[in-house]
Amino acid sequence: MPCLCPTALTSDEQHALLRVTAAHPRDHLIVALALGTGLRLSELVGLDVGDVFFSDGKPRLRIRVRPEIAKRGRTGDIFLPDALVPKLRAFWRHKLSSGEGIGPEAPLLCSQSRRRISPRRIQVVVRAWQEEAGFDRLYGFHSLRHSAVTNVYRASRNLFLTQRFARHASPLTTVAYTHPSDEELREGVRKLAC
């Protein structure tokens, strides 16, 4: 029977993806938000400037996912990792310099035509950056969410904290993120006495 475990990027792959996108503010923020918050694709696309920034351009440290963009209308709070704050500040400067809307209801992420970016465009962008980073295997966008949730579990070893981070209705859904990585398995096997 095939494993139904979510596919997560390795730590090296996550760092490589952030590194290759570093000079591209929008794409870098897409990757950083996905890896740092576990936002779903529809949630990321649906974010407005006011969801993430105060009117003076200061990043919020807590994002409320609105019911109209949340899965099944279930709202939730997203706490931003400290590492995202400077990235958001840089992105605010990018939005100002590129002439994108910064009003509270303006889309956070825009296409080249300054309209809300489409889910398909994000999927294409993330795939192209994986190719640029030289990945042996290409992942779908949802693997970024899986990576974020898995990272929280591995850092905390707390199923219920991870469930809240992922905004899962049931801890049974979250259990799938508790599987050991290849690196953890390799390290565990190395220490076996034979």
State residue 2's pLDDT score.
46
Alpha helices in the chain (DSSP H): 11-21, 25-37, 41-46, 49-52, 84-98, 119-132, 142-156, 159-166, 171-174, 182-190
pTM: 0.89
Residues 6+ apart with CB under 8 A from 161: 152
Between CA 155 and CA 78 the distance in angstroms is: 17
Q: Is residue 1 part of a domain?
A: no
Between CA 185 and CA 108 the distance in angstroms is: 39
Please give the C-alpha separations between residue 57 and each of 81, 86, 87, in angstroms, as whole numbers.
Answer: 18, 12, 12
Q: Which domain holds residue 145?
A: 11-190
Q: Is residue 26 part of a domain?
A: yes
State residue 88's pLDDT score.
98
Tens of pLDDT, residues 93-139: 999 999 999 999 999 999 999 999 999 999 999 999 999 999 999 99
> Using alpha carbons only, how large is the chain's radius of gyration in Å?
17
Domain count, the chain: 1
Between CA 178 and CA 150 the distance in angstroms is: 7
Between CA 123 and CA 186 the distance in angstroms is: 31
Q: Please, how many CA atoms are within 13 Å of residue 170, restricted to the half-sphere of its CB?
A: 4
Bridge partners, residue 64, by sequence: 77
Bridge partners, residue 53, by sequence: 59
Q: Please, how many CA atoms are within 13 Å of residue 35, restricted to the half-sphere of its CB?
A: 22
Q: Is residue 5 part of a domain?
A: no
Residues 6+ apart with CB under 8 A from 40: 71, 142, 145
State residue 5's pLDDT score.
56
Q: Is residue 2 part of a domain?
A: no
For residue 70, what is the domain's CATH number? 1.10.443.10
For the chain, residues with pLDDT lower than 50 are 1-3
Q: Is residue 127 part of a domain?
A: yes
State residue 178's pLDDT score.
77
State residue 76's pLDDT score.
85
